[in-house]
Amino acid sequence: ILSSQHPPNSLNTLIEILPHFAQAEWLAVRSRLKREYLLQYNDPSCHGVMEDPALTRWTYARSANIYPNFRPTPKSSSLLGALFGIGPVLFWYYVFKTDRDRKEKLIREGKLD
Amino acid sequence: MLKFIIPTIMLMPLTWLSKNNFIWVNTTIHSLLISFTSLLLLNQFNDNSLNYSLTFFSDSLSAPLLMLTMWLLPLTLMASQSHLTKEPLTRKKLYITMLITLQTLLIMTFTATELIMFYITFESTLIPTLIIITRWGNQPERLNAGLYFLFYTLMGSLPLLVALTYLQNTLGSLNFLLLQYWAQPLPISWSNTLMWLAYMMAFLVKMPLYGLHLWLPKAHVEAPIAGSMVLAAVLLKLGGYGMLRITSILSPMTEHMAHPFLVLSLWGMIMTSSICLRQTDLKSLIAYSSVSHMALVITAALIQTPWSYMGATALMIAHGLTSSMLFCLANSNYERTHSRTMILARGLQIFLPLMTTWWLLACLANLALPPTINLIGELLVITSTFSWSNLTIILMAMNILITALYSLYMLITTQRGKHSHHINNLTPSFTREHTLMALHIIPLLLLSLNPKIILGFLY
């Protein structure tokens, strides 16, 4: 269904516009992919690895093409960043500083080691 | 020292003038012979340094690193043979020339007496590595990787030049052997803080420290196999070597200045280990594991106790061999499937059982299994940080656990389980690959029998 919240792009146009034809379209795509895969799988002269384009897209999206596939939200970026990036560093800094100062004081006064 | 440098430089005419089908044989055998030379002459202990001349010296800290560097050149040449078969002859020779140039510069860096010469060769090692990464890497992301690598390291080390020039002006000489006895204790002031930062930033970026580590996954992943091996095994250790050397002249200030960097490396150790658990790219996993191990070395170098220095040097050698071996194993997968995704080549134990042995040994070494030198290094670092502050044991224990988790995860994903059903046409392992793995793991296992040669100058 075309609406202002889902601007059409090539990925979801078909499925959005033609709901009751979408399943047939998708089935056609899937069976074409499976046919190509089975042809390569059973071909005795097939030399090399059979490439899965979906896997290639997935690894590329995970490693090199992150920004178009990722939208930083306050929860995902600010909260997680503070919780795992800044918070622990400050926390452990104060923990180690106080512990170390206490130890230095004890060493200076001769009560330890 | 010329007995190492001149033969290594002469490897270059050897590559350019050899017959076409003999370049690999000639260079590999000759570089192996040169590395045997280093093995025979450099074993030394205690605090003595072997002074070859006014410009070169080797110490019980630099000798193991030098041996590692020279051992690695034949290994990199062996590993690169396969992916360079399709290149024209001139480009093959150029690649080998880059590796040889890098080797010469690394030998000069590890044995330099004068700190400016150390700095110059330290910076010059960036150039052949940059050329190897950006010219012979496999993906278009290699350009970005080369940029990050060059500029992170360069920006970190330019203040070091300023600081070294200042030291030369005040003390008169930068001969390291004299500096150890001449250096005055640094009082605490703002300018001395900046000077401390100037000295250490170069090595912290090179190690890398957790906040400045962005260049490492990119550079390691995009580099070809020889580039990855040399980067992981030797270039990171340049940072560690520099830190262990330079902290001796920075003495009392380090205790105050080191806290932020200690915390960053302790927490970064856990963060990067955890990221390893989430990786789908095999080389990226090994790169992050390098960051984690090097964070241990940074921690040890900043604490400055005798045990921690011994742990740092042992860890550097152990990690050099282990990480280089893991990259070779990942490359053997890459050459077969042309993809770095882990799940693409899984369950390989059925197809390549002998390679599984090498995978097992490498992963067990990576998780610091006793009695390997990895364990000795980690144990010394953990006990010395515990004596520094009792609470570090929490972070260290978490790190050991997560390291074991991701090492075993890597092993089980690539070797065990049901194989993916479309890899029924893997080429069997070459003898060259088995030789490569054996030559990595045999020094590691032999060193477990006599670890005192890698324990550095405070043993």
Pair of tokens at residue B193: 């803080």
Q: For residue range B268-278, what is the model confidence (pLDDT) as tens digits? A: 999 999 999 99
Contact at CB, A93 and B259, closer than 8 angstroms: yes
Residues of chain B whose beta carbon is less than 8 angstroms from a beta carbon of chain A are 139, 141, 221, 259-260, 262-264, 266-267, 271, 280-281, 284, 336-341, 344, 388-392, 395, 421-423, 425
CA angle B229, B235, B239 (to 5 degrees): 150
| Distance (Å, whole) CA A10 – CA B178 | 70
Task: Give the mean pLDDT of B299-325.
Answer: 94
Question: For the residues B309-334, what does the mean pLDDT come to?
Answer: 95
Nearest-angstrom CA–CA distance, B349 and B338: 19
User: Is B118 in the same domain as B213?
Assistant: yes
DSSP secondary-structure letter at A3? B
**Residue B305: is it exposed, middle or buried by C-beta count within 10 angstroms (0-12/13-18/19+)?**
middle
* Candidates A55, A64, A89; nearest CB to B344: A55
> Which of B209, B229, B247 represents a domain boundary (last residue)?
B247
Is the pLDDT at A10 greater than 70? The verdict is no
B128 shares its domain with B63: yes
CB contact under 8 A, B422 and A96: no
Choose the closest CB to B391 out of A88, A93, A95: A95
Output B240 or A26, whichever has higher pLDDT.
Answer: B240
What is the pLDDT averaged over residues A70-86? 81
Nearest residue on chain A to B339, judged by CA atoms? Answer: A56
pLDDT of residue A2: 42
At residue B263, the pLDDT reads: 94
* Confidence category of residue A18, pLDDT binned at 50, 70, 90: low
Distances (CA, A) of B336 to A110, B72, B283, B346, B353: 64, 23, 15, 12, 15
Chain B partners of A45 at a C-beta cutoff of 8 Å?
none
Regarding whether B51 and B15 lie in a shared domain, the answer is yes
Q: Which residues of chain A have a CB within 8 Å of the CB of B346?
A: none
Most confident of A29-33, B234-238, B252-256: B234-238
> For position A21, what pLDDT does the model report?
63
Q: pLDDT for B230-253, tens place per residue? A: 999 999 999 999 999 988 777 677
For residue B338, list chain A residues with Cβ-Cβ distance below 8 A: 49
Partner residue facing A49 (CB), from B263, B395, B423: B423
Is B243 in the same domain as B259?
no
Band of residue A1 on the pLDDT scale cut at 50, 70, 90: very low
Phi and psi torsions of B18, nearest 5°: -75, 160
B175 beta partners: B114
Q: What percent of chain B has pLDDT over 70?
A: 98
Rounded to the nearest angstrom, the minimum Cα separation between B243 and chain A is: 21
Report the alpha-carbon distance of residue A113 to residue A88 in Å, rounded. 30
Minimal CA separation from B394 to chain A, in Å: 11
pLDDT at res. A17: 56
A100 in contact with chain B, both atoms CB, cutoff 8 A = yes
* pLDDT band at residue B41 using 50, 70 and 90 as cut-offs: low
The tens digit of pLDDT for each residue in B127-146 reads 999 999 999 988 888 999 99
Same domain? B227 vs B256: no
Do residues B309 and B301 touch, judged by C-beta distance below 8 A?
Answer: yes
Q: What is the pLDDT of chain A when averaged over all its residues?
A: 77
| B301 and B336 fall within a common domain | yes
| Nearest CB to B341; choose among A48, A55, A100 | A55
* Closest-CA residue to B99 (of B30, B145, B49): B30
* Domain extent at residue B99: 1-247
DSSP state of B50: E
For residue B278, give the amino acid letter.
R
| pLDDT at position A3 | 44
| B232 in the same domain as B269 | no
Give a three-class secondary structure readout of B322-363.
HHHHHHHHHHHHHHHHCCCECCCCCCCCCCCHHHHHHHHHHH
Tell me the average pLDDT across B24-38: 93
Q: What token pair was written down for B321?
A: 């061999």
Tokens 């570090």 correspond to what residue?
B392
Question: Exposed (0-12), middle (13-18) or buried (19+): which is B170, by Cβ within 10 Å?
Answer: exposed
- Distance in Å, alpha carbon of B296 to nearest chain A alpha carbon: 16
Nearest-5° angle of CA B84, CA B124, CA B254? 125
CA distances from B366 to A33, B271, B362 (A): 40, 17, 6
Confidence of residue A24 (pLDDT cuts 50, 70, 90): confident
Note whether B210 and B273 are same-domain residues.
no
**What local confidence, expressed as pLDDT, does residue B42 receive?**
67
The candidate with the shortest Cα–Cα distance to B12, out of B25, B23, B22, B1, is B23
Q: Are B196 and B134 within one domain? A: yes
pLDDT digits (tens, 9 = 90+) for B347-389: 888 889 999 999 999 999 999 998 999 999 999 999 999 999 9
Residue that finishes a domain, picked among B221, B247, B273: B247
Q: Which string of b and e fits B99-130 if b means at least 16 CB within 10 Å? A: bbbbbbbbbbbbbbbbbebbbebbbbbbebbb
User: How far is the CA of B231 from the CAs of B218, B226, B404, in angstroms?
Assistant: 12, 8, 23
Q: What percent of chain B is predicted at pLDDT more than 90?
A: 70
Q: Look at residues B214, B247, B280 and tell me which one is the last residue of a structural domain.
A: B247
A contact test, residue of B284, B343, B391 with most A CBs within 10 A: B391
Quote the number of domains for chain B: 2
Mean pLDDT of chain B: 91
> Where does A1-113 have alpha helices with state H?
13-17, 19-41, 53-63, 80, 87-109
Which of left, alpha, beta for B456 (phi over 0: left; psi -120 to 50: alpha)? left
Residue B220: closest CA among B102, B74, B340, B70: B340
**Mean pLDDT of the B174-200 span:** 85
Task: Label residue B256 exposed, middle or buried (CB < 10 Å: 0-12, 13-18, 19+).
Answer: exposed
Q: Does residue B197 have a pLDDT over 80?
A: yes
> B250: helix, coil or strand?
coil
Residue B402 has pLDDT above 90, yes or no: yes
Where is pLDDT greater, at B316 or B185? B316
Please report which confidence band the pLDDT of residue A15 belongs to, taking 50, 70 and 90 as the band edges.
very low
Has residue B394 got a pLDDT over 90?
Answer: yes
pLDDT of residue B330: 94
Q: pLDDT band at A4, cuts 50/70/90? A: very low
Nearest chain B alpha carbon to A91: B263
Q: What is the pTM of this model?
A: 0.91
Mean pLDDT of B212-228: 92
Residues B312 and B453 occupy one common structural domain:
yes
pLDDT at residue B255 tops 80: no
At A68 the pLDDT is 77
Task: For residues B231 and B142, give the distance between their C-alpha atoms in angstroms, rounded to a whole number.
Answer: 14
Residues B202, B313 within the same domain: no
Write the DSSP string, B392-450: HHHHHHHHHHHHHHHHHHHHHHHHSSPPPTT-TTPPPPPHHHHHHHHHHHHHHHHHHH-
Given a cut of 90, whether residue B54 has pLDDT beyond it is no
Q: Cβ separation of B422 and A64 shorter than 8 Å?
A: no
- A103 to chain B, any CB pair closer than 8 A? The answer is yes
Read out DSSP for B204-232? HHHTT-GGG-THHHHHHHHS-HHHHHHII
Minimum CA–CA partner of A100 in chain B: B389
Same domain, B343 and B314: yes
